Amino acid sequence: MNLLTHDWNGNPITQLTTETAIAKFTIPATYVNATQMCRAHNKQFNDYARLDSTKTYWEALSTETGIPVSGLVVSIKGGNNKQAQGTWTHPEIAIDLAQWVNVEFRIWANRALRKLMTGEIITTPTPATPEPVPTLPPAPEEIAQVIDLMLGKTDLHPNLIAGVKGSAIAKLHPQLLPAIEAAKTLLPVPIESELVRPTALGEKLAEKTGEKWSAIRVNKTLIDRGFQIKNPDGKNPDYLPTEKGKEHSQLVVDTAKGHGKTIQSLQWHLSVLDALEANDH
């Protein structure tokens, strides 16, 4: 709302400076909040409105201006905007209302309210607040460049780095997820010798020792013997190799059971079995 606020002995009385839509009404510029005028003098607008002289005046003003009486006096009830609530009237009616209140108020209203009507007060409409520009995610190429900066000089396999890029891009561009998941399946990490999961290592250890080795026991042993640590960032992968374990392991792109999604996992060369045995001595 674009308002001009007049002051009457410390009481605000507002006048519209531009045509304004309030609730279901469109209220013209220069209309005045008559409810505020009455409140400043502990008066009720309805006491003024029910007078025969008031009704006669409104009808005459309607004829002269071509504005129906319902457009000369507009009552706004409810809503969250307290500034908009109350009865808004044509400025001529506001001046007539001031005369009904008392002579002093009439003189003030005749001077203050007419200034906007005659152009003595020039108001500049408050510019509309521009819509915030939505922040766009970085382009896939930019995401890939950042990951290259972070991982390009590590000993991770290029295909694994490509998988990390795909996951990061899919997170910010979910519409690309199907294409990325399809591409990940074509990124096997080439290996020179067989890589196995902890479950398979457990089977090999069971054959050697005659004891039962679960994947949990294998992972705990690899941690206790200094070959791996738990990933401090959580899962994917669950474990990371230590310097001691790097020569016997490889981070690979794997497929999560039952989900069809690619993940990273730490798998082992069978040479780790000999390293574990040597570690016992």
Give per-residue pLDDT as tens, 36-79.
999 999 999 999 999 999 999 999 999 999 999 999 999 988 66
Q: In this structure, what token pair is assigned to residue 200? A: 């398979």
Q: Which position has the higher pLDDT, 155 or 212?
A: 212
Q: Which position has the higher pLDDT, 96 or 155?
A: 96
Q: Tell me the H-state helices in the chain.
A: 34-39, 45-49, 52-65, 69-72, 91-101, 103-118, 140-151, 158-172, 177-184, 198-209, 215-224, 243-246, 271-280
Q: Which position has the higher pLDDT, 260 or 234?
A: 234
Q: In this structure, what token pair is assigned to residue 279? A: 């570690």
Q: Which residues make up the CATH 3.10.260 domain(s) of the chain? A: 3-118
User: What pLDDT shows up at residue 38?
Assistant: 95
With tokens 């994947």, the residue in question is 215
Domain 3-118 CATH (choose: 3.30.70, 3.40.50, 3.10.260, 1.10.620):
3.10.260
User: What pLDDT shows up at residue 192?
Assistant: 44
Q: Which position has the higher pLDDT, 153 or 190?
A: 153
Q: Stretch 151-155: mean pLDDT, rounded?
A: 67
Contact 129, 8 (CB under 8 A): no
Burial code of 180-201, b = ≥16 C-beta within 10 A, e = fewer? bbeebeebebeeeeebbebebb
Q: Per-residue confidence at 236, pLDDT binned at 50, 70, 90? A: confident
18, amino acid identity: T
Radius of gyration over every alpha carbon of the chain, rounded to an integer in angstroms: 40
User: What pLDDT shows up at residue 256?
Assistant: 63
User: What pLDDT shows up at residue 261?
Assistant: 64
Burial code of 54-90, b = ≥16 C-beta within 10 A, e = fewer? beeebeebbeeeeeeeebbbbbbeeeeeeebbbbbbb
Q: In this structure, what token pair is assigned to residue 146? A: 């950042």
User: What pLDDT shows up at residue 54?
Assistant: 95
Q: What is the DSSP string of 211-241?
A: S---HHHHHHHHHHTTSEEE-TT-SSSSEEE
Give per-residue pLDDT as tens, 4-40.
889 999 999 999 988 888 878 888 989 999 999 999 9
Q: How many Å apart are CA 78 and CA 82, to the nearest integer? A: 8
For the whole model, what pTM was predicted?
0.43
pLDDT higher than threshold 70 for residue 190:
no
Quote the mean pLDDT of the chain. Answer: 84
DSSP state of 259: T
User: What pLDDT shows up at residue 130?
Assistant: 65
User: What pLDDT shows up at residue 1?
Assistant: 65
Closest C-alpha among 44, 35, 45 to residue 86: 35
Q: Per-residue confidence at 223, pLDDT binned at 50, 70, 90? A: very high
Q: Per-residue confidence at 229, pLDDT binned at 50, 70, 90? A: very high
Give per-residue pLDDT as tens, 73-126.
999 886 667 778 899 999 999 999 999 999 999 999 998 888 877 665 544 444
Give per-residue pLDDT as tens, 242-277.
999 998 988 876 656 655 566 778 899 999 998 888
Report the SS3 class of residue 81: coil
Q: How many Å apart are CA 239 and CA 250, to the nearest integer? A: 11
| Whole-number Cα distances in Å, 173 to 47, 176, 230 | 65, 6, 30
